[in-house]
Amino acid sequence: MTPTLSPPTAGIVLRGLVKSFTGPNGPVHAVRGVDITIAAGETVALLGPNGAGKSTTIDMLLGLTKPDAGDVHLFGMTPKEAIAHGAIGAMLQTGAVLSDLSVRELLDMMGSLYPHPLSVDETLELAGIRDLADRKTTKLSGGQTQRVRFAVAMVSNPDLLALDEPTVAMDVEGRHQFWASMRAFTSRGKTVLFATHYLEEADAYADRIILMARGEVVADGPSTEIKAAAGGRTIRGTLPGADLAALAALDGVRSVDQRGDSITLDCTDSDSAVRALLHEFPGVRDLEITGAGLEAAFLQLTGDNDADGTDARTTTGRNTTARNDGVPA
C-alpha cells in the first residue's frame, strides 16, 4: 500500500531523539534530546566534532538505528515508508559499490528497485560521471567511487539526500565537481542534509548549519548567525613599538597578539576598541576589522569553556541553550 504523502512543506521532523550505547565504561549517550525541523528544499549542513552524535542522528533519520526515545517523520512518513517510496537517498561513511559491474549497469540495477527512478543517463549527467559509465566499479579511484556512490544515492529520484562525509577521498577538483552536481540536484527543489568535516563546504553550500556537540544541538541557523554567535571581532593593524599592556587595557579588547610591528586585538566590542585604539595610539595604521570565521565559531560553540567542566555554549535561531551533564557522546 502506498503511504499517503503530506504536503512537501512537511519536510523533515526529528523530535526528542535520544540514543545511548553500552560502552566498556558504562552507557554512552550518543544523542540526547535532539529536535530538528528541515523544510522541503533546504540544504542543511550537520557539523560537530568527532563523537558529537552526527552519524547516529543520520542513522536514526534513515531508520538504520532505532531511537531509545523520540520519533522521525520524513515528508509525513516513517523512515521505512519513505525509503520504500524512493523518497530517501543516502550516502554514508561506510559501504562499497558492487563489484564486477559497470557504473551504468550498477545504476540501472539500483534504479530498478524504486517506483520512480531517474534514467541512468540523467543520473550520470547529474553526478558528472558520464565519462565513467562503462568503467567497471573495480577500476575506480577512491574519489571516483565516492561520486558513483553519490549517483547511486540519487538514482531513486529522492526528495531527501542524506550524505555523511560525502567528499572524503576526493581531491580538490573532485570536490568542486561534486558540489556542482549537488547544485544541479538541489535546483530541482530537493532537500539535502549533509555531515562534513570541511567547514568551508558548509559555509559555501548550506542554507543553514546545525552544530552538534555531545549529542545535542548547540547552534542552528544560517552561517552568518553561527559566526555571530561566537561573538567578537578581530582588529589587525601596524603599530611599531606597541605597548601590549596598554593595548590589552583598551575598552572592548579581550586579548592582544604581536608579530613584529603587527598587532592583533581580539575584541568583545570592536566599535569601542577601535575608537579607543585610535585615541590612545594615533600612529596605528593599516587597520583591518574582521568577524569571526566559521572555524572560530565551531571551536567556541563546541568546546568546554568553563573550568568546572560545564559548557557556556549558546544557540542561535531555533534552539535553546544546551546542557552538558559531563557524559561523553
88-108 average pLDDT score? 92
Burial class, 215, CB count within 10 angstroms (exposed 0-12 / middle 13-18 / buried 19+): buried
314-325 average pLDDT score? 34
Confidence bin at 329 (pLDDT 50/70/90): very low
268-296 average pLDDT score? 90
Residue 169, pLDDT > 90, answer: no
Task: Check residue 292 and give its pLDDT.
Answer: 72
CATH numbers and ranges of domains, the chain: 10-227 (3.40.50.300), 232-291 (3.30.70.100)
List own/partner pairs for 17-25 with CB under 8 A and 24 or more apart.
17/57, 17/60, 17/67, 17/69, 17/70, 17/71, 17/72, 18/67, 18/68, 18/69, 18/70, 19/53, 19/56, 19/60, 19/65, 19/67, 19/68, 19/215, 20/68
Task: Check residue 322 and give its pLDDT.
Answer: 31
Please, where are the H alpha helices in the chain?
54-61, 79-84, 103-111, 120-127, 142-154, 172-186, 199-205, 223-230, 244-248, 270-280, 294-302
Task: Check residue 231 and give its pLDDT.
Answer: 67
Q: Do 184 and 152 contact (CB within 8 A), yes or no? A: no
216-240 average pLDDT score? 87
C-alpha cell at 153: 544515492
Average pLDDT of every residue of the chain: 86
More confident residue, 292 or 152: 152
More confident residue, 218 or 304: 218
Confidence bin at 10 (pLDDT 50/70/90): low
User: pLDDT (tens digit, 9 = 90+) per residue, 26-70?
Assistant: 899 999 999 999 999 999 999 999 999 999 999 999 999 999 999
Residue 316, pLDDT > 70, answer: no
